[in-house]
Structure 1
Amino acid sequence: MQNINEKGYPEEWDVVYEPIGALPENYEFGFKEIRYPKGTVFSEVGSKKPLPCDVIFQRDVPVPLRDGAVIYIDLIFPADYKEAMPALINYSPYGKTLPLPAPGNVPPEWHSGLVKFEGAEPAFFCDHGYVIVNPDPRGIGMSGGNMCSLGRQEARDGYDLIEWVASQKWSNGRTALYGASWLAMTQWFQAALNPPHLSAIVPWNGLSDFYRHSLAPGGIPDSGFNQHIEASFYGKNQMEKTSKMVLENHGLMNEYWDDKSAKMEQITVPAYVVVDGIATLHTTGAAEGYRRLSSREKWMRLNANQEWYDQYNPESEEDVLKFLDYYLKQKANEWTQTSPVRIDVNVVGRTGEKVSREFQQWPVEGTVYKKLYLDVADASMSEDEPTQAAEVSYEAETGEVSFTCEVPEDFDYIGYGKAVLYVEAVGNDNMDLFVLVEKCDAEGNAQKPMPVCREDYIQKCMDVIEGICEVSPGAAGRLRVSRRELDQQLSTPFIPVHTFKKEEYLRPGEIVRVEIPLTPRAYRFYKGEKIRFTVGGHDIKVHGNLQTCNKGTHRIHTGTKTASYIQIPVVPIR
């Protein structure tokens, strides 16, 4: 039996903790109640959305957890609502102090300023009879304990908060978890415990496996973005340092990281899942979350917008309100007639054109997985295997090679792709591989995906994506070759999943087969355009100062017994 330490984890995990960021000098603490009248505008933070009803703001309400720790939450009520109300919980360590400016490219007229970062908009949901719950989780602000990152401890804390909220006199006993990014990630873990009073979840772009999707995608430690996030936390105690934990144990998967991989199959609650079709951070985890969760009542949207623009778009809020009203207010509306899977197909290179499609499942029905074999002779790809074995090399640290084919007919690329490569390391016993599938025009010029956005916000939207959310020029993937072992239980014919539990180094002259998953995407290809596949020893997306294991030369083998190929999801256009 494992001994659990005071931080909530088995002692043998030896979790790294460091002091959390200091509370701001002007930080205020203590219960306080404020009534904001209808029409209030928080212009001091640049917001332009007036409150459509009177709301009551209660600050620093204490909530006890099962281990005796006390966390503090803020509540925002519709002031004059007479009936018991459902609640939306925005669970994240980003702090609950309000007001805040609109994030990124969100038009200020869509944002009231009373919104916890990436959470539900009170100006909209309070007006429709919902209570907004903004917690400072364990270790954040003045909440007790040490800050934890996902996994069992945060899941238990969320369970306790859900049940506390449902027991309040103003509650109708139904709650939903809501929000984007971290607010979505934590939903997978908390919902897997199936709290009795959790009625629905709305994870908006949330990865579901902290190791595979964020801190070590492809088995390559990559903690830069997480270090940026960790630097934003503040409180009075310590924080779990996952950016350092990924470097422990040689960065391999273990029990600690398995705890931070959500058990999707245990989730049964109704779900409204949003998948980011533009950026890279959350796409795979959100799509896999939807595919693997056991909820019989689940819906998914794959969008073509930057996540914040999509989240606070009035059309999106109205759509999710129908879902929440059905499950949290038991309102007789037509929500269940909504198609289970809705896809915004990115018409890359054709500004202003929008394509939306509806399906019954994910991956979508009608998908044909087509193999395109690499041919070194003319740097091409074809459905026909090359009849001769060949190879191509590039400098391991900065080099790359590309293969191209022309599109014979219009089709939609929707879903999961993968690269299957036969590779060899020259002058090294390991390789870090980076791959990318792009859409190009008829002349071979790459067509960068653009988010659907208001014309006067398009450049601002792109600036935010490129600076923070890393819009990808296509469907990308990566793999440290020594960690190529596949997880036979989690892998499928269309998405390889690796165990990352052991190292298998390469011998001189050894050629090995590797499978690399590609980020799920939804692109429209037209006849005469081109598909380009690139493989290299550096992050083709320009991810930042990523440290690789590369040196020497990489060789890619093609043809006969070493027939390297990419597999793409082809969906006919009807």
Structure 2
Amino acid sequence: MPFPVDTVQFEYDATVTMSDGLPLHINVYRPKASGRYPVIITHGIYGKDVLWQTAPPYQAAWEKMSQKLPGLCDGSTCQFMRWEMPDPERWVPQGYVVIHADSRGAGKTPGYLDPLGARETQDYKELIEWAAQQPWSSGKVGLLGISYYAINQWQVAALQPKGLAAIIPWEGAFDAYRDMSYHGGIASTLFSKLWMNTQILPNQHGNGASPFVDAITGGPAAGAAIPETVLRGSASSLLKDMLAHPYDDAYYAQRTPRAERIVVPTLSAGNWSGAGLHLRGNLEAYQQIAAQQKWLRVHTGDHFSPFYAPQSFAVQKAFFDRFLKGDETAFPDEPRVMLTIRDPKNGFRERAESAWPIERTEYQRWYLDANQLQLHQQLPQQGHSASYAARSDGLSFVMPAADTDREFTGPLMAHLWVSTSSADADFFLTLRLLDPTGRDVTFEGANAPAVPVTQGWLRLSQRAQDPARSLPYRPWHAHQAPQAVVPGDPYPIDVEIWPTSIVVPAGYRLVLTIQGQDFSFPHLTEGLFRGSAPFLHEDRDPTLYGGTNTILSGPQQASFLLLPFIPATRQDRGGAE
């Protein structure tokens, strides 16, 4: 297929030999004009030759994004749009080389398929160093992409490949255990099943039954078919591996980057609506990495249109123009933190901040009253308890409505006194917003049509914390071994709730719902996407996690929700700062 832009040189299905002799298959898009240009790379499992808009698992997302971005293909034919990758038709005319690579065992590249494994990350390092040395390369490489193509940016950046000059990890997990495998020690099984069966294995190299078509040749995007017995033995099983490693051991350590080794300029972009996968990692990594030149942006809404929107492309290009091209006039005086403030009544807005968490945060304790099922800033003077069946709608603690708007933006947690009738218990915490009529205010999720404000999880036997890493507003659970649970005994637990931004308008109420199962909105009773999908926690033993749980409150067993209150600035009130 000739490239639709005359000034672009398209090298289809080239190969780069890895250190162990494996040929890594890549597509290279570069300016025809002679010269040396910075390089942007994506390397992963979804198919360098799979056209997004015609691939069966991806068509619905494409249609949704196209409706949100009606001008998406105005500056591009979109013939080279690939799932979660940058569009070469937009980048190459701007003076960049773009490389799309099929990682080991995926698409056209042979080998053992082990997503996010050590060998895959080593291949990525070698590809970066190869690209930096090519005659058409300036020697500077940047990484760009969504989700998987963000997760492996963090991983390979920690290996410090020669030539890597900047990264833009967009909505990508960082901690392999806490961000994507186990939420508070509870296995996120449904996502692993769906991901493996609908996206990873269909594009495994040699899968003769793959529905993916090579958009360039019309042939199979996964290469020539290999025998089924060989195919089954040529890929790891993410779900089996995850369930075989229920604690944060060496398996996850290998897949979790060493933050102190990430030193390149970084633009980290997360999504408030991405609880379950596409938020925590971007925020934690921003705080932990050693890079001196780092920026954080947090948006909201669906998983794709924020990345491909014209204003986002402009930010991405300015960042790369500065750190890959050396243009000191690009990305000028950018605030270190840019947050979308979610206000369901007055509209969402962007606001610049100098730090994360926001420096002027006032952490407020809202105490649970187990008698009245309410949240108050005053500690209840009498002790009470309230119980619920784990497999039920649980208990909802309601904050009184106020006559003024209140903003809560930042990390949050809950300190709870709990007991259970069984030998263990799972606690699912959901922060919800109710309008004056009592109806849930929902938000468009990164991976679901309707999500609550935010969520948190903790398994009671996994309550042990690492004091060296815990913060007053964000507990860090060790997840090294189970602690004993005696039925009926009360235990204090600190539950990490993923950060959020929400303005609670006058007359609206926040609600903390505590359950022993995944949350579903009361008004959504059918289908998969009822409030927590696709990050559901299935296959839990009902004899262990299906008992009766109890929440205690009062002066001796004070349970509270810690919220990040943001006082209004003069600018928020309509004046100048």
TM-score (norm 2): 0.84
Per-residue CA distance 1:312-359 (angstroms, 9 max, x = gap): 101110111011000111113141401010011111255xx2321100
Per-residue CA distance 1:81-140 (angstroms, 9 max, x = gap): 332111111122111114332743222641413122101111211120111111111111
Q: CA deviation at 1:292?
A: 1.1
Q: What secondary structure is seen at the aligned counterpart in 1 of 2:283?
A: helix
Q: 1:151 touches 1:261 (CA, 8 Å); kept in 2?
A: no
Q: 1:152 touches 1:259 (CA, 8 Å); kept in 2?
A: yes
TM-score (norm 1): 0.85
Tell me which amino acid in the other structure corresponds to 1:327: F
Residue number in structure 1 paired with 2:428: 434
Residue number in structure 2 paired with 1:135: 101
Tell me which amino acid in the other structure corresponds to 1:302: V
Aligned counterparts of 2:34 and 2:479: Cα–Cα separation in 1: 54
Per-residue CA distance 1:228-275 (angstroms, 9 max, x = gap): 2222231145122221112115x2221112212222222110011111
Per-residue CA distance 1:497-517 (angstroms, 9 max, x = gap): 211111113113211111111
Is 1:305 aligned to 2:311, yes or no?
no
Aligned counterparts of 1:397 and 1:290: Cα–Cα separation in 2: 37
2:274 to 267, 270, 279: 279
Q: CA deviation at 1:67?
A: 2.4
Tell me which amino acid in the other structure corresponds to 1:259: Q
Q: CA deviation at 1:487?
A: 2.1
Aligned counterparts of 1:178 and 1:438: Cα–Cα separation in 2: 33
Pick closer, same or farther for the CA change 1:551–1:479 going to 2, 3 Å: same
2:336 to 340, 348, 360: 340
Q: What secondary structure is seen at the aligned counterpart in 1 of 2:517?
A: coil
Residue number in structure 1 paired with 2:224: none
Aligned counterparts of 2:7 and 2:303: Cα–Cα separation in 1: 29
RMSD: 1.9
Aligned counterparts of 1:211 and 1:418: Cα–Cα separation in 2: 19
Q: What is the correspondence of 1:347-358 to structure 2 with a 5 Å cutoff? A: 347-349=343-345, 353-358=347-352
Residue number in structure 2 paired with 1:21: none
Is 1:568 aligned to 2:563, yes or no?
yes
Q: What secondary structure is seen at the aligned counterpart in 1 of 2:352?
A: strand
Residue number in structure 1 paired with 2:443: 449
Q: CA deviation at 1:442?
A: 3.0
Fraction of identical pairs, as percent:
27
Pick closer, same or farther for the CA change 1:513–1:113 going to 2, 3 Å: farther
Q: 1:212 touches 1:218 (CA, 8 Å); kept in 2?
A: yes
Is 1:293 aligned to 2:259, yes or no?
no
Q: 1:274 touches 1:286 (CA, 8 Å); kept in 2?
A: yes
Residue number in structure 1 paired with 2:456: 477
Q: 1:35 touches 1:56 (CA, 8 Å); kept in 2?
A: no
Pick closer, same or farther for the CA change 1:490–1:149 going to 2, 3 Å: farther
Q: 1:154 touches 1:186 (CA, 8 Å); kept in 2?
A: no
Is 1:361 aligned to 2:328, yes or no?
no
Aligned counterparts of 1:244 and 1:470: Cα–Cα separation in 2: 29
Residue number in structure 2 paired with 1:220: 186
Q: 2:321 touches 2:330 (CA, 8 Å); kept in 1?
A: no
Aligned counterparts of 2:272 and 2:79: Cα–Cα separation in 1: 27
Q: What secondary structure is seen at the aligned counterpart in 2 of 1:325?
A: helix
Pick closer, same or farther for the CA change 1:399–1:506 going to 2, 3 Å: farther
Q: Structure 1: which 5+ runs fail to align?
A: 1-33, 39-52, 451-461
Aligned counterparts of 1:377 and 1:98: Cα–Cα separation in 2: 57
Bigger CA drift: 131-140 or 56-65?
56-65
Q: 2:454 touches 2:499 (CA, 8 Å); kept in 1?
A: yes
Tell me which amino acid in the other structure corresponds to 2:85: G
Tell me which amino acid in the other structure corresponds to 2:323: Y
Is 1:189 aligned to 2:171, yes or no?
no
Q: CA deviation at 1:469?
A: 4.3
Q: What is the correspondence of 1:39-58 to structure 2 with a 5 Å cutoff? A: 54-58=7-11
Residue number in structure 1 paired with 2:17: 64
Q: What is the correspondence of 1:5-20 to structure 2 with a 5 Å cutoff? A: none
1:401 to 395, 399, 416: 395
Pick closer, same or farther for the CA change 1:217–1:514 going to 2, 3 Å: same
Aligned counterparts of 2:137 and 2:495: Cα–Cα separation in 1: 47
Q: CA deviation at 1:572?
A: 1.5
1:547 to 513, 516, 539: 539
Q: 2:273 touches 2:454 (CA, 8 Å); kept in 1?
A: no
Residue number in structure 2 paired with 1:92: 44
Q: What secondary structure is seen at the aligned counterpart in 2 of 1:318?
A: helix
Q: What secondary structure is seen at the aligned counterpart in 1 of 2:399?
A: strand
Q: What secondary structure is seen at the aligned counterpart in 2 of 1:211?
A: coil
Is 1:36 aligned to 2:3, yes or no?
yes
Residue number in structure 2 paired with 1:528: 507
Residue number in structure 1 paired with 2:259: 264
Q: 2:25 touches 2:108 (CA, 8 Å); kept in 1?
A: yes
Bigger CA drift: 482-491 or 195-204?
482-491
Is 1:149 aligned to 2:128, yes or no?
no
Residue number in structure 2 paired with 1:247: 243
Is 1:411 aligned to 2:390, yes or no?
no
Q: What secondary structure is seen at the aligned counterpart in 2 of 1:183?
A: helix
Tell me which amino acid in the other structure corresponds to 1:77: R
Bigger CA drift: 506-515 or 416-425?
506-515
Tell me which amino acid in the other structure corresponds to 1:37: P
Q: 2:518 touches 2:537 (CA, 8 Å); kept in 1?
A: no
Pick closer, same or farther for the CA change 1:471–1:147 going to 2, 3 Å: farther
Aligned counterparts of 2:295 and 2:401: Cα–Cα separation in 1: 32
Q: What secondary structure is seen at the aligned counterpart in 2 of 1:335?
A: coil
Residue number in structure 1 paired with 2:174: 208
Aligned counterparts of 1:283 and 1:545: Cα–Cα separation in 2: 18
Aligned counterparts of 2:451 and 2:356: Cα–Cα separation in 1: 22
Aligned counterparts of 1:524 and 1:113: Cα–Cα separation in 2: 41
Is 1:106 aligned to 2:65, yes or no?
yes
Q: What secondary structure is seen at the aligned counterpart in 2 of 1:507?
A: coil
Bigger CA drift: 180-189 or 233-242?
233-242
Tell me which amino acid in the other structure corresponds to 1:242: L
Per-residue CA distance 1:291-324 (angstroms, 9 max, x = gap): 2111111111110231211011011101110110
Pick closer, same or farther for the CA change 1:151–1:412 going to 2, 3 Å: farther
Residue number in structure 2 paired with 1:48: none
Tell me which amino acid in the other structure corresponds to 2:340: D
Q: What secondary structure is seen at the aligned counterpart in 2 of 1:212?
A: coil
Q: What secondary structure is seen at the aligned counterpart in 2 of 1:554?
A: strand
Q: 2:166 touches 2:266 (CA, 8 Å); kept in 1?
A: yes
Tell me which amino acid in the other structure corresponds to 1:522: S
Q: CA deviation at 1:552?
A: 2.2
Q: CA deviation at 1:542?
A: 4.1
Q: What secondary structure is seen at the aligned counterpart in 2 of 1:256?
A: helix
Pick closer, same or farther for the CA change 1:195–1:206 going to 2, 3 Å: same
Per-residue CA distance 1:442-475 (angstroms, 9 max, x = gap): 343321124xxxxxxxxxxx7xx5xx44752111
Q: 2:186 touches 2:537 (CA, 8 Å); kept in 1?
A: no
Bigger CA drift: 98-107 or 257-266?
98-107
Tell me which amino acid in the other structure corresponds to 2:205: G
Residue number in structure 2 paired with 1:391: 385
Q: CA deviation at 1:66?
A: 2.0
Residue number in structure 2 paired with 1:488: 467
Q: Structure 2: which 5+ runs fail to align?
A: 54-58, 207-230, 520-530, 570-577
Q: CA deviation at 1:158?
A: 1.2
Aligned counterparts of 2:181 and 2:272: Cα–Cα separation in 1: 20
Q: What number of residue pairs does the alignment pair up?
A: 507
